[in-house]
Structure 1
Amino acid sequence: MHVLCGTRQGVYRGRPGEFDDATRVLDSDRVMRIRQFGPRVYAATRSGLYRSLDGGDSWTRLETPQSEVYSVLEAPVGEQLFAGTHPAHLYVSTDGGDSWTERAGLQRLPSRETWHTPRHRNEAHVRSLGAVGADRLVAGIEVGGVHRSEDDGATWTERNDGVHDDIHHVLVRDTDHWVASTGNGLYRTRDAGQTWTRLDEALSNRYFREAFAHEGRLYAAATAGSPPTWGSPSDTDAALYESDDDGDSLRPVEYAGGPGAFVLSWAADDGNVYAGTTSGLVLRRDDDGWFGVGSVPSAVASLAAVAASESR
C-alpha cells in the first residue's frame, strides 16, 4: 500500500513512514481531489482530470468540457463518470471520459444566480460529489449550498435550509446521513438535507475543510479563519477533533504539527487513518495519538490510500 498526496504541485506518492522520499508522479496544477473507484484512481485538478490505472504510477489526462475540475465520482462504479467543474457545471461520461454530456438540471436550481464569491473570480464550483444510493447524488457547491438528485443528476432539489452555503465537502455516511464541512461550521443531516444540526456550536474555530469517518469515529479539523488568514503557522490556529458519538461532542486532540498545521484531508487503509496538512506534513493515527510519518513539499489538499502497483 502507498498513499497519494494531492498538492499544489501535483500528486506525490509515498509509503507510510517514508514520505520524506516521496516521489512526484503527476505534475499538474493544484489538485483538488484524489479518489479511487475500483482499480481507477482520479486526480481532479485545476489543469484537468487525470486517471491512473496502475495505482498512481502513471496518469492520463481526460479531456473535459471545462479545464478546472474540482470533484470526481463514479456512480455506479465502472459505469458512469461524473466531473464537477469551475465554473459550477456537472458533466457525465459513459465511455470512460472519451465524451461528456452536461447534467444541465443543476443550472436550473432557484439559487443558481447567487452562486459566486469574489475569492473565486465571482464564480462558484462543484467542490464535492457523492453517491447516496441508486441514481441518487449529492453535490456541494462552493459557494452555493448542498443539492440532491434522485434521477442520476438530471434534476436537482436544494437542501440548504439550515446549512451554511460555503460548502467544502459533503461526507456521505449513509443514504440520508451526511456531514457538511463549510467555511462557517460543521453540519449534520440524518434526513437527506431536509434539516441540519450544527455540530461546532461549542467550538471557537469555525472554518472546516473536510470531515472523515472510519470504524465508527468521526474526524474533523478547523481553523479560526479562511486561507487568506494563514500567513504563518502561528496565524493558522488549527485544531483537530474526534467524536465517537456522531459529532454530538467533538473533543480536541493533540497532533504533530498542530496548531500550525491545519488538517485538510484524510484517508484510511488496514485500520490506519492518515491526515494531510497545510504544512505538507502527513500524519498517522495510532493508539497513542497522531504522529508525523513524513512530508511533501506542499499542502496536502487530498489523500488516497491505494494498493501499490505490481510493476513496482
Structure 2
Amino acid sequence: MLLAGTYDGVYRAGGPRFDSARKVLDSGRVLRVRRFEGWDGTFAATKTGLYRTTDGGDSWTNLGVPREEVYSVVGDTRGERLYAGTHPAHLYVSEDGGDSWRELEGFQDLPSREEWYTPRHRDEAHVRSLGVHPDAPDRVIAGVEVGGVHVSDDRGETWTEREAGLHDDVHHVLILGPDEYVASCGGGLYRTRDAGETWTRLDEALDHTYFREAFFHEADADSGDGVLYAAAARSSPGTWSGANGADAALFESRDGGDSFEALAYPGRPEEVVLAWTTHDGEVLAGTNDGRIVVRDLDGWVGGGQLPAGVSSLLGSP
C-alpha cells in the first residue's frame, strides 16, 4: 500500500506507483503519514487533527488531540505511548491508543521556550518532528520549527535542550540510531552522534542551505552501505515562485553525509522534494507540486502526479 499526505488530504495509490491515486482522507493539509513498530494501523498528522486508520485508509478516526493542528506523531516501540506534537508548540501523550491525552508539561519548561516563534507562522512555533529508536525506547527526540532539537530520556516527562551548534529552524530529525540523528534545518544539514550534545554541519561544501527532510535507505541496489538522501532549496517557500522557482537540488551521500553528489530529477529546479519513502525496494520522493519521482538504476524518473503538493509519503519496505 502506498499513501501520500498532501496539501489537501491523504491519497492512496491505485498501482505499484502513483500512476493512479484516490483521496481517502479529506483532512486539509497533512504534515505526516506514519506507521510504527508495535502499533496497528497508520496515523496522519494534519492541520485538522490526528487521524488513524486500521483498514488501509478506507476509514479514519480523529483521535481528538487537545489542539487541532497536529504536526507530528510517534509511537514508542513498546506500543504503550503515543506522542503528538502540535501548533502552537505543545506535546501530548496517550497511553490508551489515542482515547485520551495528557499534556507533557515539562516540554514547556525548557529555558528557550519563550524564544520559539516565527512571524511566518502567526508568531508561534510547532513541534514539526518526533522520533524514537528501538534501542533507546524511553528517549523521545523533538524538533521544533522554530526552536531547535530537544531530548527526553524519561518518556517525555522532562526535557533537555540539544541545540548548541544547530540552526534553530528545524524541519525534520532523521533518527539513524539511539544517538545518531540528521537534522534538516532552514539554515543547513546537521549530524549528531552523541544524541545532540554536539552537531556537525554536513552541507558546508554545498550551495543550498534550506533543507526540508533527509532519508536513509539501507538496501540501495548500488551500495551495500546504504545511501543518505537530502533535498534543499535556495531559501524558504516564499521564494519558490517566479521565473527562477525554488532552484531546488537533490543530494545523495554514500559515506554517511561526509560528501554529497547532486543529481537531476524530474521537476528540478522548480520543484522541491519534501517527502520520502521506500516501496518494494525502491526509493520514492514527492515534491511541492505533487510530482512523485522514483530512484532506479539510471537515476530519478517520474512515478506519477498528485493534484496537490506532497508533504509525506508512506510505502512498504
- Quick one: which of 132, 139, 142 aligns to 2:142? 139
CA distance in 1, matches of 2:216, 2:14: 22
Query: SS of 1:209's equivalent?
Result: strand
Within 5 Å, give how 1:9-20 maps onto structure 2: 9-15=8-14, 18-20=17-19
For 2:230, the equivalent position in structure 1 comes to 220
Q: Is 1:170 matched with 2:170?
A: no
The 1-side partners of 2:285 and 2:94 are apart by: 31
The answer for unaligned runs of 5 or more in structure 1 is 308-312
Secondary structure (helix, strand or coil) at the match of 1:105 reads helix
User: Could you give the per-residue CA deviations for residues 147-205 of structure 1, whole angstroms, max 9, x where no partner exists?
Assistant: 00000000000000011000000000001100000011000001111111101111111
- Counterpart amino acid of 1:297? P
SS of equivalent residue, structure 2 residue 120: helix
CA root-mean-square deviation: 1.3
Find the aligned partners of 1:78 and 1:252 in 2 and give their Cα distance: 39
Maintained 8 Å contact 1:140/1:146: yes
Give identity over the alignment, percent.
Answer: 60
Residue type of the partner of 2:21? A
After TM superposition, give the deviation of residue 21 of structure 1 in Å. 2.3
Deviations 1:93-130 (A, max 9, x none): 01111110111111000000000011111110000000
Give deviations 1:203-257, integer Å, cap 9, x for gaps.
1111000000011210001100100111147321100000011111011011111
TM-score scaled by structure 2?
0.94
1:203 paired with 2:202, answer no
TM-fit CA distance, 1:270: 2.8
- 1:74 aligns with 75
Query: Is 1:5 matched with 2:4?
Result: yes
Q: Secondary structure at the match of 1:285?
A: strand
SS at match of 1:113: helix
Look up the equivalent residue of 1:85 and give its one-letter code.
Answer: T
Distance 2:147 2:165 in 1: 13
| TM superposition outliers: structure 1 runs of 4+ over 3 Å | 15-18
The alignment partner of 1:134 has SS state of: strand
Q: Given that residues 278 and 316 in structure 2 are in contact (C-alpha distance below 8 angstroms), is that contact kept between their aligned partners in structure 1?
A: no
Mapped to 2, the partners of 1:57 and 1:233 lie a distance apart of: 40
Is the 8 Å Cα contact of residues 14 and 22 (structure 2) preserved in structure 1? no
| 8 A Cα contact 1:111 1:144, kept in partner | yes
- Looking at structure 2, the residues matched to 257 and 150 of structure 1 have their Cα atoms a distance apart, in angstroms, of 41
Q: Is the 8 Å Cα contact of residues 186 and 208 (structure 1) preserved in structure 2?
A: yes
3-state DSSP class of the match of 2:310? coil
Pick from 274, 296, 306 the counterpart of residue 296 of structure 1: 306
Where does 1:8-47 land on structure 2 (aligned, <5 Å)?
8-15=7-14, 18-37=17-36, 38-47=39-48
1:256 maps to 266
In structure 2, C-alpha distance between the alignment counterparts of 1:194 and 1:255, rounded to whole Å: 35
State the Cα deviation string for residues 57-115 of structure 1 (Å, max 9, x = none).
Answer: 22111111100000001013421111000110110001111110111111000000000
For residues 204 and 124 of structure 1, do their structure 2 counterparts lie closer, same or farther at Cα, with a shift above 3 Å needed? same
Q: Does 1:159 align with 2:158?
A: no
1:278 to 274, 277, 288: 288
Higher relative contact order (CA 8 A, sep 6+): 1
How many angstroms apart in 1 are the aligned matches of 2:278 and 2:151? 27
Distance 2:243 2:155 in 1: 43
**Aligned partners of 2:288 and 2:242: how far apart in 1?**
10
- SS for the counterpart of 1:136 is strand
Q: TM-score, normalised by structure 1?
A: 0.95
Q: Is the 8 A contact 1:124 1:143 kept in 2?
A: yes
Preserved contact between residue 222 and residue 262 of structure 1 (Cα < 8 Å):
yes
Q: Distance in 2 between matches of 1:83 and 1:131?
A: 13
Residue type of the partner of 1:275?
A: A
State the AA in 2 paired with 1:193: G
CA distance in 2, matches of 1:257, 1:220: 16
The separation in 2 between residues aligned to 1:19 and 1:190, in whole angstroms, is 36
Q: Tell me if the contact between 1:126 and 1:139 (Cα under 8 Å) persists in the aligned partners.
A: yes
